[in-house]
Structure 1
Amino acid sequence: MAVSALLLAACNDDTEKAGTKSPDKNKPTKEVKQEDAAAFPRTTSNTKEPLEDGHVNYGLVSDTPFEGILNYSFYEGDPDWQVLRIFDEGLLATDEDYVFNQEGAATYELKNDNKTMELTIRDGVKWHDGKPVTGEDLEYAYLVIGNKDYTGVRYDTQMAMIEGMEEYHAGKADKISGIKVEGNKISFTFKEANPSVLTGLWTYPLHKEYLKDVKIKDLVESDKIRKEPIGFGPYKVKKIVQGEAVEYERFDDYWKGKPKAAGVTLKVVNNSIAVKSLQNGDLDLATVNADQMDSAKALGNIEILGNLELAYTYIGFKLGRYDAEKEVSVMDRPKMQNKQLRQAMAYAIDNNIVAEKFYKGLRFAATSVIPTAFPKYHNTEMEGYKFDPEKAKSLLDEAKYVDKDGDGLREDPNGEKFTINFASMTGTDIAEPLSQLYIQQWKDVGLDVQLVDGKLAEFNSFYEMLQTDSEKVDIYQAAWGTGSDPDPSGIWAKGASYNYTRWVNDKNDELLKQGISAKAFDEDYRKDIYNQWQELVHEEVPVIPTLFRYEFEAANKRVTGFDLKFFDWSEIGVTEAEPVK
């Protein structure tokens, strides 16, 4: 979802309109012919010089408002991230393989047997109020995230590996001993060498001078985060209509030089009208979802860009709760803990038919929880859970989930009525039929699955249920933008707030630790560790990975300088005063 490191984000699964005809429940479907993202350009073809006073209109395609947590240290959902990336950024840039390079607002050097990472912030990198971005600002981000009063989800395994971080986090120290600041230089010393510092080091500073008067526990709700955010990106926030729109104006002192456009307007646009808005010239840029692809392709005033996305959709099992005091997941909800039950539910659903009928080949069946967009670490040997309802029935029989009263639905091993409560999000027109297809396929193998509260949940309400471990939810359908660091600890470690399933497994902990050990600087070793990890997740199935995704963006033909993979807002401009219609 993002080329910057560690930008894990909860996503809407962007469900889209399609036919609702059910497949033959006893016949495995063929592999779906995928839309070839390589057939689409990744960058706009317009090479004209952008207008000095041009204005870009960007459509945030969503059925839900953005929440308005406009800071990298605190945001959690994709809509907020889309707002954020226009006015703020990380200090380090990445190359095509998502590895840090020397092209960002800071350069870096790895030293001390790979245990110390030193960043040097370039001269002229300024916050939007004109103050310089300093090493203290990045240190302040770590002091906030590591603080016990921090209310976000960014404190993770890698943070805890910094020397002195655990002592600071426990309240035993006022500073983090492994972080040293000298002017525009800042260094991080880790307890042991970790290859993920080259892809996953947190490089998003907080404006210390601007925020220092707000208590850490109050930051996320403060006006300085929600209404008057400051970044050091190419555009400044001029006006926010909460949840609906943001006006940005060019930041002339941007460290890379004056941005190409004079301003940007972001507005939330429902998927059902996105293509019409593109046709009318109301939008210069907008995501194209599967149900709109045929209509978008027919338009003569836009071009469609495509790329593999660092994301996957999945069905998760709620296995426990998060103990906030101990900061670990506790697997204390027995209802979905039978592994054969989870495996049976995986075999019962047909992801190929979903990809074909609902997404027209714009998505494809997921085989693992590391996307194919990570070719280095995606396990190509895994086939995932193929549609096999007979296998599902056999597993349920073995686990003693059997129909004892003859109503076609299985009781639990104790002979009690067994209903599984399924949370799924609103989205576009297929959200409801897609959820009902899964429910029907589970019913076909004898499982009674019902939507939580009898309906789909709105995006923000849905994730609130997951974060608070609502007893209403037994299973849920969601999506992850994984971020560009291959280390999956931020989602899967037992101490990760983002571990929404609350799955706890000793082998999981061991493999995650090995994946960011000094040995893992050897890429073959690290690949083997992550292959083993993917196989473990497949066997234990705390989640069912369902679909991998392509992303497609439409650009009006007046747009120039747009690269879908890197989305550098400073380079995006328009070459005509009026949109091409």
Structure 2
Amino acid sequence: MAFLVPWGLTSSALAADSPQSGGTMIFLVQPEPPSLALYASSSGPIEQIGTKIYEGLLEVDAKLQPAPGLASEYSIADDGLSATFKLRKGVKWHDGEPLTSADVQFSFMEVLKKLHPRASISLKNLVSVDTPDDATVVMKFSAATPYLARVLSGKDTPIVPKHLMAGKDLKNLDLANRPVGTGPYKFVEWRRGQFVLLEKNQDYWREGLPRPDRLVGRFIADAATRVAALENSEVHLAALGAIPAIEAKRLDALPYLNMSTEGYGSLSSISLLEFNTKVHPFDKKEVRQAVSHVIDREYIVQNIFQGFGTPAKSCLSSQFSAIGINPGDLPNYPRKQDLARAAELLDAAGLKPDASGIRAEVVHDIIPYGEEWRRLGEYIKQALEQVGIRVTLRYEDAATWTRRLYTEYDFQFSSTYHYHLIDPVLGAHRFFLSSSIKPGVPYVNVTRFSNEKVDKLLEQAMVELDREKRAGLYHEFQAIIADEMPSLHIHDMQFATVSNTVVMEHSTSGLGPYGPWYDLWIKAA
């Protein structure tokens, strides 16, 4: 299948500034996802495609507030121990079957709580889902869940079809690669190494939507080719680092392309290194601390990520300052490189340089998400060699990288980034809790760091309603992680979207490129 500009830019008799229906919007997905099992993964590429197919009970609006989704209305009890949702009438799965409360019950109790890396934590206190009738859902909790309404989007807790999943091996479903949802777009085809094709759901419950006839997610492994495809209008939109930052700034100067940082407010993205705390030499915290003193966070932000972001000050996103959680002054988070302190820490760990000056040899597994990460890997290699740590870089495809880290634990340290989202419970807890050490489950506690005090603090913060007390719990947690440093946080990230000027309304959701895109439209040429 060829993707040509005229296919996407259809003519229309409507005014150029009025929403128009029809056409095909082609967007980059980098890298190609290992599956489309949105219900069992928080992988960015899976979410970028899956959120157009699946939906949640609620959505996230442009102001990062909960908005109606599959549930037309809801109420949460004052004590936070129960919540009632009324489902919309007439919603159908893409195979024509009706959505019912039984699907919601199955999704939460049998799938999300058991398989999803974020939901298994955010829904920890969910004890039951009752279904008084086909349109009513009543959730009951063992403790207050103050963040509940913020975790019910299709991105975080997608509702799945019980009639296609019940009684089957949920980890080995055909549905993982041929998804069936209720969302604005239906899955049509996945050609490995090329594209995923979605088409308009003609029976979508939002009248007159979605507007495009098709969405095409293109997979282009080479960064220069991705840039050229956008520049030549072979694709219409690139988000989430698909275009290197330095190129995004250049493309923004072209009259037919726009760069925007809107739509990312809910992500609270943070880059980091994750250490395998069970293997030499990163089984000693002094070595992990030393790495933090070797890297120059300010240099990384300005020279590798082209000024998109700010140096990290703790293990939590700085965006949480809006809810009273501030890092303060923490040890082991220097903005500038401190080689002398790094050498002291390595000596204290017993890593003395040999006759050739080498203290240790390690392998750095680079997240396979683009050129900035390769450049970060090269920088870290050069930086660590200044203190006698020889680094070998390994760059593999996404499926191999994911399996190596999260199933086999066959790594020493890896670069990555996390979404902390709009509350630490939703995005950050899973990377530090002992209960989140789950072999085979991606994007959880891969460092295998386990600390009873941390577990207790996070469990208390999960249910604490008092803002100041909750902030205090997180401050204590941050101090422990700054000392133990199972993961080394580098910078608070800022993504940019580069789009053709014909693509309209692509960031109206608080989820930006992870939004459902039902109101996106293509302006006639």
Q: TM-score, normalised by structure 1?
A: 0.77
Kept in 1, the 8 Å contact 2:461–2:470? The answer is: yes
Matched, 1:541 2:479: no
* Alignment RMSD: 2.6
Alignment equivalent of 1:344, drawn from 290, 301, 305: 290
Secondary structure at 1:224 match in 2: helix
Report SS of the residue matched to 2:139.
strand
* Structure 2 CA distance for aligned equivalents of residues 191 and 151 of structure 1: 20
Q: How far apart are 1:529 and its partner, in Å?
A: 1.9
Listed as ranges, the matches of 1:154-233 within 5 Å are 156-163=120-127, 177=128, 179-200=130-151, 203-212=157-166, 215=168, 217=169, 219-227=170-178, 229-233=179-183
Equivalent position amino acid for 1:115 in 2: L
State the shift of 1:377 in Å: 5.0
* Identical positions, percent: 22
Equivalent residue for 2:5? Answer: none
Query: What is the deviation of 1:103?
Result: 5.9
Per-residue CA deviation, residues 338-373 of structure 1 (Å, 9 max, x unaligned), is 222211111111121122222221233222232234
Give the structure 2 partner of residue 481 of structure 1: 419
**Quick check: 2:244–2:370 contact (8 Å CA) kept in 1?**
no
Q: Does 1:49 align with 2:18?
A: yes
The residue matched to 1:385 in structure 2 has which SS? coil
SS in 1 for 2:18: coil
Assess if the C-alpha contact under 8 Å between 1:377 and 1:531 holds in 2.
no
Structure 2: gaps of 5 or more residues: 1-14, 439-443
Contact 2:54–2:160 (8 Å) recurs in 1: no
- Partners of 2:198 and 2:391 in 1: how far apart? 46
Comparing 418-427 and 493-502, the one that deviates more: 418-427
1:354 partner SS:
helix
Q: 1:211 to 1:178 in 2, by over 3 A?
A: closer
Matches within 5 A, 1:194-343: 194-200=145-151, 203-212=157-166, 215=168, 217=169, 219-227=170-178, 229-257=179-207, 258-269=209-220, 270-287=222-239, 288-307=243-262, 308=264, 309-320=267-278, 333=279, 335-343=281-289
Is this contact kept in 1: 2:87–2:136, CA < 8 A? yes
Q: Which amino acid aligns with 2:418?
A: W
Query: Residue 48 of structure 1 aligns to which amino acid in structure 2?
Result: D
Name the CA distance, whole Å, in 2 between partners of 1:407 and 1:540. 30
> Aligned equivalents of 2:130 and 2:460: distance in 1?
24
Residues 1:389 and 2:356 are matched in the alignment: no
**Are 1:145 and 2:96 counterparts?**
no
Say whether the 8 Å CA contact 2:121–2:430 is kept in structure 1.
yes
Distance in structure 1 (CA, Å) of the matches to 2:143 and 2:389: 48
The answer to whether the 8 Å contact 1:377/1:530 transfers is: no
Contact 1:368 1:545 (C-alpha < 8 Å) held by counterparts:
yes
| AA partner of residue 162 (structure 2) | K
Q: Look up the match of 2:12.
A: none
Distance 2:355 2:235 in 1: 56
Q: Contact conserved, 1:89 with 1:231, CA < 8 A, in 2?
A: yes
CA contact (8 A) 1:247 1:266 kept: yes
Change beyond 3 A, Cα 1:278–1:447? closer
Once residues 533 and 99 of structure 1 are traced to their aligned partners in structure 2, the CA distance between those partners, rounded to angstroms, is 27
Shift of 1:178: 5.4
Q: Distance in 2 between matches of 1:424 and 1:254?
A: 40
Secondary structure (helix, strand or coil) at the match of 2:86 reads strand
> Quick one: structure 1 residues 489 and 51, their matched pair in 2 at CA, closer, same or farther if it must change by over 3 Å?
same
Pairwise CA distance, 1:92: 0.7
Deviation at residue 82 of structure 1 after TM alignment = 1.2
1:437 aligns with 2:387: no
Per-residue CA distance 1:361-403 (angstroms, 9 max, x = gap) = 1233222232234332552524633321111112222333222
CA distance in 2, matches of 1:530, 1:339: 21
CA-to-aligned-CA distance 1:158-210 (integer Å, 9 cap, x gap): 433223xxxxxxxxxxxxx5544532111121111122323235642211123
1:423, 1:475 within 8 Å by CA — same for their partners in 2? Answer: yes
Q: Structure 2 CA distance, aligned partners of 1:146 and 1:572?
A: 28
382 and 72 in structure 1: CA distance in 2 versus 1, 3 angstrom threshold: farther
Q: Following the alignment from structure 2 to structure 1, what is the Cα–Cα distance between the partners of residues 370 and 495?
A: 16
**Where does structure 1 lack aligned partners over 5 or more consecutive residues?**
1-45, 164-176, 321-332, 411-417
Alpha-carbon distance in structure 2 between the residues aligned to 1:363 and 1:146: 32
- Which of the numbers 399, 421, 429 marks the counterpart of 2:349? 399
Q: CA deviation at 1:154?
A: 5.4
Check 1:425–1:205 CA distance in 2 against 1; reply closer, same or farther (3 A cut): closer
Partner residue, 1:93: 59
Contact 1:370–1:377 (Cα < 8 Å) also in 2: no
- Normalised by the length of structure 2, the TM-score is 0.85
Q: Which residue of 2 aligns with 1:495?
A: 435
Deviations for 1:105-160, whole angstroms, at most 9, x for unmatched residues? 4422111621112221122322222322221101111342378xx66645623433
CA distance in 1, matches of 2:112, 2:219: 33
C-alpha distance in structure 2 between counterparts of 1:132 and 1:373, whole Å? 40
1:24: which partner in 2? none
Structure-2 change in CA distance of 1:154 and 1:354 (3 Å): closer
Equivalent residue, structure 2, for 1:125:
91
Aligned to 2:323: 376
Relative to structure 1, the CA distance from residue 157 to residue 80 in structure 2 (aligned partners, 3 Å threshold; closer, same or farther) is closer
Tell me how many residue pairs correspond in the alignment: 484
Retained in 2: the 8 A contact 1:92–1:203? Answer: no
Contact 2:56–2:159 (8 Å) recurs in 1: yes
What secondary structure, in the 3-state scheme, does the structure 1 residue paired with 2:20 have?
coil
Match of 1:558 among 492, 498, 502: 502
- 1:203–1:134 CA distance, 2 compared to 1 (3 A): farther
Q: Could you tell me which residue of structure 2 aligns to residue 28 of structure 1?
A: none
Residues 575/371 of structure 1: CA separation in 2 closer, same or farther (3 Å cut): same
Change (3 A) 1:47 1:196: farther
Q: Is the 8 A contact 2:432 2:445 kept in 1?
A: yes
**Local SS of the residue matching 1:495:** helix
Partners of 2:368 and 2:397 within 8 A in 1: yes
The one-letter amino acid of 1:297's match is D
Aligned mates of 2:418, 2:270 — CA distance in 1: 6
Kindly indicate whether the alpha-carbon contact (under 8 Å) linking 1:355 and 1:363 is maintained by their aligned counterparts in 2: yes
Match in the other structure for 1:449 = 391
